[in-house]
Every structure is written in structure tokens, then in C-alpha cells.
Chains A and B, each alone.
Chain A
Amino acid sequence: MTAVTAGTAGTTGASGASDTAAAAEQAAYEAVFDAAVAADERIEPRDWMPEAYRASLVRQIAQHAHSEIIGMQPEANWITRAPSLRRKAILMAKVQDEAGHGLYLYSAAETLGTSRDELLDKLHSGRQKYSSIFNYPTLTWADVGAIGWLVDGAAITNQVPLCRCSYGPYARAMVRVCKEESFHQRQGYEALLALSRGTEAQHAMAQDAVNRWWWPSLMMFGPPDDESTHTAQAMAWKIKRHSNDELRQRFVDIAVPQAEALGLTLPDPDLRWNEERGHYDFGPIDWTEFWDVLKGNGPCNDQRLSRRRQAHEDGAWVREAAAAYADKHTGKHGEAQA
């Protein structure tokens, strides 16, 4: 066991001499950490890490985990109405995968010393966020396809570089998450293609969904680089590998030809290929809407959080029963939980 937290390294000294020794020890740990990050080595749970690095990771992993479980709601909204048994099976499996992603990510956060219960409390009390995209409603069946294509597509663009994140457990969780997400994205695209090539009403449904989900999907990459509070430090620590604007551009460049292949248009009159830049130019994003939704004023913020709290409260007696049963039968709390 080589782990020493910054807290213990920095506060053990009672005298000036031991303060100096502690500071030297801290500096030595930092040097090892910095060298590991510089050499693209993985930081593992037992390694020393700066408290700010730990806190930054917990914040990011928690937000990601919360997004997975809140993100189940807009899609689960269509499970009971899926228009064919094949689509129903695909959608149920997708929503199940999201619960699974939530599990891996909460486990990754646990390796940093933060329990799932603690993080859920923070989600339920509004102290931690989830991706704002899930504060938009799924109004038609085509929204399920548009989420798969655009929202999962944007998520993958964000997440693929995280497979090389400096923190080992997060990077490994992301490898598995990304494999499943890319499967979901293909299924979403294929569902939209069926609608686009279907009846007139189906085509219109698909176009309407893309019109509503396009701009919020671009907002998923976060504020522009010059307004992003976390980007610079996260990149220095190699938690994050590319800036918000770089990833957003990458996503637009991939999505435009896909939209053409789908036979659907993207709701941006300024969207055109820029030969000189080698990228698509796109119109201005409505950041007022982004900040407004983030602050809680989106169409579904209250609904999503209330539903999550309700499920948690309704399940309290079940969790208590499982814990009581485990205590009676193993003497070890939690061992017999599902």
C-alpha cells in the first residue's frame, strides 16, 4: 500500500521541521504523479494523486453516471409504445445497457473513495448535475432514433478519447461503454433510416425529431473553449484530451454526410463545407438556451429529477429489506444484495 492522501501528507506536521519534511514528501509524490501523467501511464486507485485531480474525476465520473441513469427516462418513455417487437427488444436492451453503464461508472467513482449512495444523494439534492440533453422531451417515436444517432453520436465523440484518460478505472470503464454506445448509435441511425424511407408521415416524424435534437446535441460538448471552466486543467491532467470546440467540430463533420445519407436535413442554414479549413462551418449556437436549461429551466428538468427521487424513495423499503435480510443471514450488511 503506497497510497498517501494529500490531506495526511500535508497536515501531519506539528513542528516547523516536520512541516518541511511533509512538504518535501508531498513534492516528491507530486513529481511521481506528474511524471506518470507526462509518460501517459495510468493512475490507479492506490497511487497518490492530487486532491484536486481526485475531486475533478469524481465530479466528471459522477456527472457521467448520473447522465446514464437520468438518460434512461426519455427512452424508457417509449418502451411500452415501441411500434414493432424488434424495435421494442432493441430499445429495452439499450435502456438496460444505460443502467449497466451507470453501474460501471459508480463503481469507478467508488475507487476514488466516493460511494454510490453519496453520489445519488448529491444528484437527488441537485448538488451534482447530469447532461442537460436529457432535460428535453421525447415527443414521438422518431425521437428514440434521433437520440441514438445524434445524442449517442455526440456522446461517443466525447467519450472515445476518455478511453485514454489518465485514470485507469475510468479509462477501462469507457472502453466498454464506448463499444455499447457505438452499437446504440448504429441502431438509432438505422431506426431513423427506416422512418425516413417509410411513409410520408414517418419521414416527417424523423425530420421533426432531427430538427429538435440537432442544436441540443451540439450543446452537449459544453460551452465554447474560452468559457469552459474545467477544460484547461482537465487537459493538463490528461483526463480530457481535446477541447469542447474541437470535439464539437469533429461531430459536425461526421454528422453532415450521415444526414445526407439519411435523406434528412439539419436545421442550420449556415452549414456548409469550408475548403480552406477542411471542416464544415456551422451557425451560432444559442448559448442562452444552454445556460437556461443548465440552470433548471429546461422543459423536463423538474420532471426528470422528481421521477428519479420518486423511484429512489419508493424503493427505500426494498433496499432496507435487502439490508435487513443480509444482516440476519450473513451478518454482513449488503453481501446478499442483488
Chain B
Amino acid sequence: MTGTTDTLTAAAALALGDDALVLSHRLGEWAGSAPVLEEEVALANIALDLLGQARVLLSLVGDEDELAYLREERSFRNSQLVEQPNGDFAHTIARQLYFSTYQHLLYGRLATGDGPFAGLAAKAVKEVAYHQDHAEHWTLRLGDGTTESHQRMQRACDALWRYTGELFQPVEGLDLDLPALETAWLDSVTDVLGRATLTVPSGPRTGAWSAGAGRQGLHTESFGRMLAEMQHLHRSHPGATW
């Protein structure tokens, strides 16, 4: 990378690419365990879209496999939200709702500009519209389904709420009106949760740690294990091609 613009583009591509890579991996963990066969197809579909986005974005930075398989945990720039373990289906759906709503708004804005991500964003925004629709419909079903599903979905929304503030922290290389993005996100999520008979969580939306979070390479404890599993085979055969 030479020059400031390239460096900035690479920093942003890494953050967005890592988000997509890590969430795709988490969704891939569902394979064979989804609650219904249609969801095997749907979750894999979303995981594949995200993996496709990750590959395009990481390739803007360098070799996709070196970046995915040979970086240490502290070098990953994904938000902490996407690395959160799947939990039950409600946790996976809450994570999808929060993230896909953000990603849809983000790519919608990037697609309209003439920046380095406009092309990618124009394609990805269509994929992400489906991800958001999927998450919204399941949020409605779980929130307004049975007493048990309502409780599980509320717990999941509450538990993941604290990771949503990070999505609106500045990302190097992305010139966005973050307060406007955040307001639009809150409006959308509040609307869906309301229709799902769920309560908008009231707790803080960021953790109390001044060192930062995922965008600064600070992750949660489960992330190291995820990477250990993801990277072990590649790292066991240095220099091999697959």
C-alpha cells in the first residue's frame, strides 16, 4: 500500500471485511443444527453472501487467505458484535437483526457515493436487504410467538445490546455521517422490536473499557477460540496451497 488514500481504503476494507468474515464463520457453525430445514438453507445463504463480501474486501488489502488465516487476534478489526457466539436461535437472530440493519444502512450510503466501495456496496446492499428481511421476520415470529420464544428473544436482544454502540464509532477511511446512521439504525430497530412486542433494551450500548473494542483489535474471550479452530489447519501446513 502506498499513499494515504490507499492506506485509508485498506483500513476501512479490513474493518468491513473482518465483520463479514467473522459473522460468516459464526453462521457456518449452524450447519446441520438449524431448527428447521429451510433455515439450514437460509443461514448458509447469508453466510455465503458475507463470505463473498469478505473475500472482495480483504483482497483490496492483500492476500485473502494470509489475512484470514495468518493474522493474530489483536490484528482483526471486526466489531465485537459479529464474533459473539451463536447461543440459541434467538441470539443468532438478534445478532443478525442488529448487524444486518447496520450493514444495510451502511452499504446503502456507500453505494450512492463515488468512493472505493461504491461498486461492492451496490451489489452487497441487495444481499443485505434479504438478510435484514430474514432477521426482521424471525424477530417478529420469536417476539410475538410463544411465551418461551418471547422471553428468549428479549434476553438475546438485551444481551447483545451492549455491542451495538461500537458499530457507530468512527472507522478510519470511511467518511460517513455516523450520528445520522445511528439515528436511522435506532429508528429501524425500535420499530421492529415494537412490532415484535419486545422492549427496546435500556442498558448501555458500549462496554466501559477505555482501551476500545473490536475496531482497535480488542476482542472478547470466545474470539480466540474461534480463530484457533478457523486457522489451525491452514497454519499446520505452512506454504501449502489448497
Contacts and interface: CB of A to CB of B under 8 A. Distances in A.
Interface of A: 69, 72-73, 76, 79-89, 92-93, 95-96, 99-100, 102-103, 106, 116, 141, 191, 194-195, 198-199, 201-202, 307, 310-311, 314-326, 328-329, 336-338
Nearest to B45: A96
Interface string B209-241: 000000000000000000001101110010111
A85 B229 contact: no
B38 A81 contact: no
B28 A315 contact: no
Nearest to A328: B144
A321 B145 contact: yes
B36 A319 contact: yes
Contact of B39 (A81, A86, A321, A338): A338
The secondary-structure label for the interface of chain A is helix
A81 B233 contact: yes
29 contacts: A73-B32, A81-B233, A83-B240, A83-B242, A85-B21, A85-B54, A85-B68, A86-B242, A88-B51, A95-B32, A96-B40, A96-B45, A99-B37, A99-B41, A99-B44, A103-B41, A194-B242, A198-B242, A199-B240, A307-B32, A315-B36, A317-B148, A318-B89, A318-B142, A319-B35, A319-B36, A321-B145, A322-B36, A338-B137
A102 B47 CA distance: 19
Given A95-B44, A102-B37, A103-B38, A83 B234 contact: yes
Interface residues of B, number: 53
The secondary-structure label for the interface of chain B is helix
A100 B41 contact: yes
Q: Which 8 A-B residue pairs are closest in the complex by CB-CB distance?
A: A315-B35, A321-B145, A321-B149, A96-B44, A99-B40, A76-B31, A318-B35, A325-B141
A317 B58 CA distance: 38
Nearest to A338: B38
A46 to B, nearest CB: 26
Contacts of B25: 80
Nearest to A321: B145
Contacts of B28: 79-80, 88, 92
A85 B55 contact: yes
A225 to B, nearest CB: 34
Nearest to B33: A311
B160 to A, nearest CB: 18
B4 interface: no
A325 B232 contact: no
**A82, A99, A116: which has the most chain B beta carbons within 10 Å?**
A99
A317 B146 contact: yes
Contacts of B39: 338
A87 B64 CA distance: 12
B29 interface: yes
A314 B35 contact: yes
B52 to A, nearest CB: 7
B138 A72 contact: no
